Amino acid sequence: MPDLTQSILELVRLTSTDLPPDVEKVLHQAVEREQPGSAARGALETVIKNVELSRKNSTPICQDTGTPIFYVHHPAGCSTQELRSQIEAAVVEATRKTYLRPNSVDSLTGKNSGNNLGGSHFPSIHFFEEEGDTLTIDLMLKGGGCENVGIQYSLPNSQLGAGRDLAGVRKVVLDAVFKAQGKGCAPGVLGVAIGGDRGTSYLASKEVLFQKLNESNPDPELAALEIRLTEEANQLGIGPMGFGGETTVLDTKITALNRLPACYFVTISYMCWAYRRRKMTVLTDGSVKYE
Ligand code: SF4
The model's pLDDT over 95-137, given as tens digits with 9 standing for 90+, comes to 999 999 999 999 999 999 999 999 889 999 999 999 999 999 9
Helix axes 80-96, 5-17, angle to 10 degrees: 50
Kind plus residue range of the DSSP H or E element containing 136: strand 135-142
Cβ–Cβ contacts within 10 Å for residue 69, how many? 20
Q: Could you give the CA distance from residue 203 to residue 224 in angstroms, rounded to a whole number?
A: 23
CATH 3.30.1330 in the chain: give the residue spans.
Answer: 5-15+61-143+276-290
> Starting at the edge strand that comes first in sequence, how are the strands of the sheet with 249-256 ordered?
151-154, 265-271, 188-194, 249-256
How many angstroms separate the Cα of 187 from the Cα of each of 44, 87, 144, 275, 291?
A: 9, 30, 15, 10, 23
User: Which residue out of 272, 275, 276, 277 has the highest number of ligand 1 atoms within 8 Å of its CB and is therefore the one to mutate?
Assistant: 272
How many Å lie between the centroid of ligand 1 and the Cα of residue 143? 5
Q: What are phi and psi of 260, to 5 degrees?
A: -75, 150
pLDDT band at 284 (very low <50, low <70, confident <90, very high): confident
- 39 CA to centre of ligand 1 in angstroms: 18
Q: Which residue has the CA at smallest separation from atom 4 of ligand 1?
A: 185
Average pLDDT, the chain: 96
Give the model confidence (pLDDT) of 163-180 as tens digits: 999 999 999 999 999 999
**Torsion angle of C-alpha atoms 129, 268, 233, 262, degrees rounded to 10:** 110
Residue 1 scores a pLDDT above 90: no
Q: Which amino acid would we find at residue 25?
A: K
- Three-state DSSP at 248 gives coil
The confidence band for 214, taking pLDDT boundaries of 50, 70 and 90, is: confident
Assess contact for 103 and 67: CB atoms under 8 A: yes
79 C-alpha to center of ligand 1: Å?
Answer: 34
5-15+61-143+276-290: CATH topology? 60s Ribosomal Protein L30; Chain: A; (3.30.1330)
* Residue 237 Cα to ligand 1 middle (Å): 20
> Residues 141, 276: contact at Cβ < 8 Å?
yes
C-alpha radius of gyration, the chain, whole number: 19
Q: How far apart are CA 112 and CA 106, in angstroms?
A: 6
The residue contributing the CA closest to ligand 1 atom 1 is 145
